[in-house]
């Protein structure tokens, strides 16, 4: 019984090369030595030689016919070879375009959803919720506190100076349900006239434009908080060399405390809400409107499918 002990992978490697008569002289010496040492390797070598010899003697088959191509076959082969890649590329490009279109829409929608709201759309400010809080005057802030009831502040007064500095709109102080716009004539300030405000009700109220007022329930008026809205910083120092003239003092008419000035005439409360709603709808429409018409996307998708199927058919057929 021949045992396969002591036969290494190196022996098998040399055996195979020996079968193909490709041993180098050095390998031939090494292999002959191994054949002498290992009877199993010798037997294996004999068997493999016999196998190789037998396989080499297998009768070759005669070709059933010549495999040459006729002119017609050659033309057909070339035509089929041309159409298949054309449809393949067309399908791939269509699919790529569809992917780009849907991908871009997805990206744009995500970007627009996370974008901050434009400041231009905040011309009408609504105060709806939250308990009454203390009035905290703050430089540059449009609204200081939140009212307990909805109060519509129409304070977009371009060209006027608000208390607390120059700006596109007037400063608004909420006094717990009553909002007041205070206007100072910029012409008076620019000429260096003193504009001292000595307190609520001490001066003359001058309304810069005919306005329409909306009544606020009396119960929500807190007149005792009104003096807090007049900061001392609004007093303009008077140069000592200038001729003192009678200052124009603007203040708050106590009789009109509790009213809200509105500079947009002929608009009802419902109409005031309308621009915001329309803006919101317009924004939604812009967001939902696809960059590329949906018909184009569907057409491209259909083209990708059809071209792909034709390509597959031609591939299977060929």
Binding positions for another protein, rule: CB under 8 A: 12-13, 15-17, 19-20, 22, 43, 46-52, 54-56, 58-61, 63-69, 71, 73-74, 77-78, 80-81, 318
Structure token pair of residue 14? 């040399």
CA distances from 213 to 145, 154, 181 (A): 21, 10, 12
Q: Pick the closer one to another protein by CB: 82 or 139.
A: 82
User: Least Å distance between CB 49 and another protein?
Assistant: 8
Q: Pick the closer one to another protein by CB: 43 or 310.
A: 43
CA distance 310 to 252: 82
Q: Return left, alpha or beta for 159; rule: phi > 0 is left, psi -120 to 50 is alpha, else beta.
A: left
Question: Where do the H-state alpha helices sit in the chain?
Answer: 9-19, 25-37, 39-56, 71-114, 186-190, 269-288, 294-317
User: Least Å distance between CB 25 and another protein?
Assistant: 19
Which positions ≥6 away from 80 have C-beta within 8 Å?
314, 317, 318
Instruction: Reduce the DSSP state of residue 63 to 3 states and report it.
Output: coil
CA distance 127 to 174: 10
Which positions ≥6 away from 114 have C-beta within 8 Å?
none
User: Least Å distance between CB 89 and another protein?
Assistant: 16
User: Least Å distance between CB 13 and another protein?
Assistant: 7
CA distance 118 to 246: 43
Neighbours of 65 (CB within 10 A): 5
Which positions ≥6 away from 77 have C-beta within 8 Å?
69
Q: Pick the closer one to another protein by CB: 11 or 171.
A: 11
User: Least Å distance between CB 72 and another protein?
Assistant: 11
User: Least Å distance between CB 100 and another protein?
Assistant: 30
Q: Pick the closer one to another protein by CB: 69 or 136.
A: 69
Instruction: Reduce the DSSP state of residue 200 to 3 states and report it.
Output: coil
Q: Pick the closer one to another protein by CB: 71 or 289.
A: 71
Structure token pair of residue 52? 């190789």
Q: Pick the closer one to another protein by CB: 60 or 118.
A: 60
- Contact by Cβ (8 Å): 155, 146: no
Q: Pick the closer one to another protein by CB: 31 or 173.
A: 31
User: Least Å distance between CB 26 and another protein?
Assistant: 17
User: Least Å distance between CB 309 and another protein?
Assistant: 19
Q: Pick the closer one to another protein by CB: 6 or 281.
A: 6
- Contact by Cβ (8 Å): 258, 216: yes
């Amino acid at each position: 019984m021949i045992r396969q002990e002591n036969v290494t992978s190196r022996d098998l490697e040399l055996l195979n090369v020996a079968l193909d008569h490709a041993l180098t002289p050095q390998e031939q010496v090494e292999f002959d030595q191994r054949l002498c040492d290992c009877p199993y390797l010798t037997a294996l070598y004999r068997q493999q030689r016999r196998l190789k010899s037998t396989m080499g003697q297998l009768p070759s088959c005669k070709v059933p016919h010549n495999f040459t191509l006729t002119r017609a076959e050659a033309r057909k082969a070339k035509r089929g070879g041309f159409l298949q890649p054309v449809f393949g590329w067309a399908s791939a490009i269509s699919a790529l375009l569809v992917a780009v279109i849907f991908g871009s829409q997805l990206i744009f929608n995500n970007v627009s959803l996370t974008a901050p709201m434009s400041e231009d759309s905040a011309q009408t400010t609504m105060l709806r919720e939250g308990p009454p809080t203390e009035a905290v005057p703050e430089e540059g802030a449009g609204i200081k506190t939140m009212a307990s009831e909805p109060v519509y502040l129409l304070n977009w007064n371009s060209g006027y100076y608000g208390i607390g500095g120059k700006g596109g709109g007037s400063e608004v102080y909420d006094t717990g349900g009553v909002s007041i716009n205070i206007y100072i004539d910029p012409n008076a300030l620019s000429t260096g006239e003193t504009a001292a405000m000595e307190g609520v009700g001490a001066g003359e109220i001058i309304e810069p434009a005919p306005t329409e007022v909306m009544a606020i329930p009396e119960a929500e008026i807190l007149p005792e908080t009104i003096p807090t809205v007049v900061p001392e910083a609004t007093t303009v120092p008077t140069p000592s060399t200038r001729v003192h003239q009678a200052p124009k003092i603007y203040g708050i008419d106590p009789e009109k405390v509790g009213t809200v000035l509105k500079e947009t005439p002929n608009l009802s409360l419902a109409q005031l809400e309308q621009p915001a709603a329309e803006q919101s709808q317009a924004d939604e429409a812009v967001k939902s409107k696809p960059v590329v018409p949906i018909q184009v996307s569907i057409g491209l998708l259909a083209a990708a499918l059809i071209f792909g199927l034709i390509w597959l058919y031609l591939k299977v057929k060929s």
